[in-house]
Structure 1
């Protein structure tokens, strides 16, 4: 029963995050911040690839370190895009705040998903990255 509650909580958090993103786009009537969705999709990809090529997750490895670096760059870019758009005058500051609030919730949901489902697969998935 706990698994169902966890999945429902993750789904609810994802909906709340996307609601903030849509509000940030719809209220000022500019849909430019919607490009942040590409960062949501791309953020787990480097770590997924690194985990598949990694046999032993103990200690540090250049592959994992590179994946963490690329993931960090993607996450920072997701927060920087609305800030740059607000600075350029393309979107309002309130839209920037709403989009970045949605990003905090969405990235928290992504982290929670990988934390909760780390034991679902055998092999290197069962060992944590951090």
Structure 2
């Protein structure tokens, strides 16, 4: 039952993050949909961690494959925060839209981190079996 509650809480926080992202795009004073390109980063960010967990057999904290996955994930996350800033500096989007997109980024990435914390262990309810 705890897994279901965690899944509901994570989906709710993901919906809040996507709401902030869409508000940064769809409000009448902003009206530009360029910030939606951060959705690519949302999709790409968990992939290195999924691959490293499949490839590494041991649970040691110092594993080269896992460290590379953390490095790549960090680069993807930093890029997703950098894209709205670059778009705002080039006046493609307004700074208010940049703030909303950055807030949505923070909420979405905390949701992804929460997913790995809750479902990352090898307990009976795990996504690793899929």
TM-score, with length taken from structure 2 = 0.90
Shift of 1:79: 0.3
Question: Which residue in the other structure is 1:13 paired with?
Answer: 13
Map 1:3-42 onto structure 2 (within 5 A).
3-27=3-27, 28-42=30-44
Output the aligned Cα RMSD: 1.7
Shift of 1:121: 6.3
Question: Which residue in the other structure is 2:47 paired with?
Answer: 45
Map 1:58-73 onto structure 2 (within 5 A).
58-73=60-75
TM-score, with length taken from structure 1 = 0.90
Shift of 1:118: 1.7
SS at match of 2:121: coil
Shift of 1:59: 3.5
Aligned partners of 1:36 and 1:95: how far apart in 2?
13
SS at match of 2:58: coil
Length, aligned pairs only: 124
Tell whether 2:118 aligns with 1:116. yes
Specify every segment of 5 or more residues in structure 1 that has no aligned partner in the other structure, as ranges. none
Specify every segment of 5 or more residues in structure 2 that has no aligned partner in the other structure, as ranges. none
SS at match of 2:57: coil
Structure 1: 4+ residue segments shifted above 6 A: none
SS at match of 1:30: coil
